Structure 1
């Protein structure tokens, strides 16, 4: 029998698995930060309040988790997730020569590595955020997982490399055959506008540790 306490424990364990609080997990999924607060788990009359299927679907999507992982947490088991080592460098290093090939895939022997749940993109890599230019979305020390193979749509957060060797994390505002508009994550920094011929590659951020 599915119990109220088991479902909420699974939510808490999923959050912990990704280094988040319950409110951090809700925020990551685009939900109200109080959605999973303990005060929301019972009504004023003491009746059980269950998380909605929509909220569960959103957190699974935001953490790139499978329903089987969540079910494992419900039953008090560890998710049977395959891990592999993902290349890691600091964002400040990413513009240097020798870290990416012409296609924008990680190359060379200077990368560190971190274990990460396996994803379909074998060329995925991680960047460690340095400084305050990405605040308040990404803070100094946060890790972002980047997928060169992921499709990119308007509004996605992306990592872009220019022909000048600059590498930056921005939000894609608009892209046409000739131009690209990038919105700065930190409102104190200017938005950026480029001709497409000035862009070497653009990759989508698919996960962040926050």
Structure 2
């Protein structure tokens, strides 16, 4: 049984045990009326950790009960280092390989080929805060795929500095604008990037379980 099905079955069981229904749980969790039902029926195959946390609170359990033993069965993800959100950080050499901290693999994320980095700085407030973890997968060692344009990305510039920014096309081919979401932070114009990868998952600092 895959992780998504185990989560769906656990939520369905907990809802039934409490004598309620998926719609009532979804509304109490601040989700759409069909949000919980969509998870149970697998229409939503990869529910976010934030939604699972809200569902757990409504059902009166720890979120670990919903994700079950899956995290223990899956290898943890290494935290590669820090990524700048306003601060200049040479992120990717922060730790010797294998020596850095690790975080348990979130539900819905494959444990292989995924990297985590920790946010430093406040240029992406209020979306990403210092200490939050971002998970991403690089499609190539030296590439900026077209599908990252317009999205929030982890990226490395030509000077080896790591950033989390919204990436937009620059004024010339091969150059990119790195947009800050915080109105008080500076946007970086026409930057050359070694690579960029879209953020797949954001885990707030107080939810991440570091090892």
Residue 132 in 1 paired to residue 122 in 2? yes
- Which of 80, 92, 99 aligns to 1:110? It is 99
Following superposition of structure 1 onto structure 2, how do residues 143-162 of structure 1 map, counting pairs within 5 Å?
A: 143-149=133-139, 152-162=147-157
- Which of 191, 196, 199 aligns to 1:202? It is 196
Residue 123 in 1 paired to residue 123 in 2? no
- Preserved CA contact (<8 Å) 1:144 1:206: yes
Aligned-pair Cα RMSD in Å: 4.3
Query: Paired residues, what number?
Result: 162
* Equivalent position SS for 2:156: strand
* Equivalent position SS for 1:173: strand
Q: Distance in 2 between matches of 1:117 and 1:97?
A: 21
Q: Distance in 1 between matches of 2:124 and 2:34?
A: 32
TM-score (norm 2): 0.57
Q: Distance in 2 between matches of 1:59 and 1:135?
A: 28
Match for residue 66 of structure 2?
78
TM-score (norm 1): 0.57
* Equivalent position SS for 2:93: coil
- Which of 144, 163, 171 aligns to 1:168? It is 163
Q: Distance in 2 between matches of 1:86 and 1:9?
A: 35
Segments of 5+ residues of structure 2 without an aligned counterpart are 1-11, 205-211
Match for residue 25 of structure 1?
none
Identify the structure with the greater helix proportion. Answer: 2
Q: Distance in 1 between matches of 2:83 and 2:48?
A: 22
Deviation at 1:209, TM superposition (A): 1.7
- Preserved CA contact (<8 Å) 1:145 1:208: yes
Match for residue 63 of structure 1?
48
Report runs of 4+ in structure 1 exceeding 4 Å deviation.
1-4, 8-12, 53-62
Distance change in 2, residues 1:142/1:153 (3 Å): same
Match for residue 90 of structure 1?
82
Distance change in 2, residues 1:96/1:145 (3 Å): closer
